Amino acid sequence: MATQRTPKVNLVNLSKSDYRGAPTTLCQGCGHNSINSQIITACYELNILPEDIVKFSGIGCSSKSPTYFLERSFGFNSLHGRMPSLATGALFADTSLTGIAMSGDGDTISIGMGQFKHVMRRNVPMVYIVANNGVYGLTKGQFSATAEEGLALKGQGQNPYMPIDIVWEAVVGRATFVARSFAGDPKQVRELLKAALSHRGIAVLDIISPCVTFNNQDDAHHSYAWGRDHEVALHDLSYVPLAEEIMVDYDAGESKEVDMHDGSRIMLRKLESDYDPTDRSAILCMLEEANRQQELITGLIYIDTEQKSLFDLYNLPDEPLNRLPADRIRPRRETIDKVNAMMF
């Protein structure tokens, strides 16, 4: 008689399939599919209950992605470019949840740029992924604001404009965790996702995610071939959860440690040179130079674990606001009268 194999479970007694979503309807080979798989693996390996996660997205192929991971989590699809304000409100209402947002370069950097800037300056605790392919994939491949100058696409002509660098915008915009990765480098994507999920503040991940249907020619800056040839990893990054004994297998002086709020650590092993992800002005110079040299810099680019998050700025009760009874959430009649009296 054939024996049935029991699926492997994690510390919260769930198998990896408990973290999956509906079957994807994205094109085969789309970078977004690869990011989705790493979200599933990261959450499984971190033993997070899917019910403790809330997913957010806007509009685009990338924004369809939350359907394809964590089907046991709640999810919100916003209007195009408006996901950050929806996420801010939802997370404020229940600060016990972990937010994972999936957006696109069109959704965030074209129509959504204003909202993106404000969610970063407010340091809303959430993982904010931009699956960046240089085009509007869903509406058939128009140039997005991250497309490189001179990119020529069938039916679109040649892009005359300079691109916007998402990482640059995030560092200047005061996001407290900024990283870049490449969908063709799944290990790095996974480790960065795990670190981002432990960050208390906004974690922006610019992930180059090729659109195989509209923008994957070898010389295009968001293609698999270009990414593979031009990726320059700043460090070899490993995420070490609190529960695991830290096995430092690096020589002294060869690695940098970043301590996270929850006691976990990010280990950054030196590759070419020492890299300090806390020195904002040096980072901006490095990004400028990398763009000039056409290098795809990846890794943990900037981190600040000291800045207060949006929720730390308010005197919030321990219980989530959306679970407080009406008599605790509504101001009393006398309070309203007092406020009104102050107005006149």
Ligand X SMILES: Cc1ncc(C[n+]2csc(CCOP(=O)(O)OP(=O)(O)O)c2C)c(N)n1
> Which residues contact ligand SF4 by CB under 6 A?
26-27, 30, 32, 61, 133, 137-138, 211-214
In the list ligand X, Mg ion, ligand SF4, none, the entry touching 80 (Cβ below 5 to 8 angstroms by class) is ligand X
133 binds Mg ion (CB under 5 A): yes
Phi-psi region of 157 (alpha: psi -120 to 50; beta: other; left: phi over 0): left
Task: Take residue 28 and report the two structure tokens written for it.
Answer: 């085969």
**Per-residue buried b or exposed e for 104-114, using 16+ beta carbons within 10 Å of the residue's own CB:** bbbbbbbbbee
Dist CA 157 CA 217 (whole Å): 14
In the list ligand SF4, Mg ion, ligand X, none, the entry touching 213 (Cβ below 5 to 8 angstroms by class) is ligand SF4
CB 103 within 8 A of CB 137: no
- Interface map 67-106 toward Mg ion (x if CB under 5 A): -------------------------------------xxx
In the complex, least distance from residue 137 CB atom to Mg ion, rounded to whole angstroms: 5
- Based on CB atoms, which residue is closest to ligand X, 111 or 240? 111
CB 208 within 8 A of CB 183: yes
In the complex, least distance from residue 61 CB atom to Mg ion, rounded to whole angstroms: 7
- Based on CB atoms, which residue is closest to Mg ion, 103 or 238? 103
Name the residue among 106, 110, 162, 104 with its Cα closest to residue 128: 104
Q: Which helix (H) or strand (E) holds 340?
A: helix 333-343
169 binds Mg ion (CB under 5 A): no
- By beta carbon distance, the residue nearest Mg ion is 104
- Based on CB atoms, which residue is closest to ligand X, 143 or 302? 143
Distance of CA 12 to the CA centre of its chain: 24
Task: Take residue 71 and report the two structure tokens written for it.
Answer: 């089907």
Total chain residues near Mg ion (CB under 5 A):
4
In the complex, least distance from residue 39 CB atom to ligand SF4, rounded to whole angstroms: 16
User: Which residues form the interface with ligand X (CB under 6 A)?
Assistant: 59-62, 80, 104-107, 131, 133, 135-139, 144
In the list ligand SF4, Mg ion, ligand X, none, the entry touching 27 (Cβ below 5 to 8 angstroms by class) is ligand SF4
148 binds Mg ion (CB under 5 A): no
In the list Mg ion, ligand SF4, ligand X, none, the entry touching 107 (Cβ below 5 to 8 angstroms by class) is ligand X
Using CA atoms, how far residue 62 sits from 13, 16, 83, 132, 308, in Å, is 30, 22, 13, 9, 29
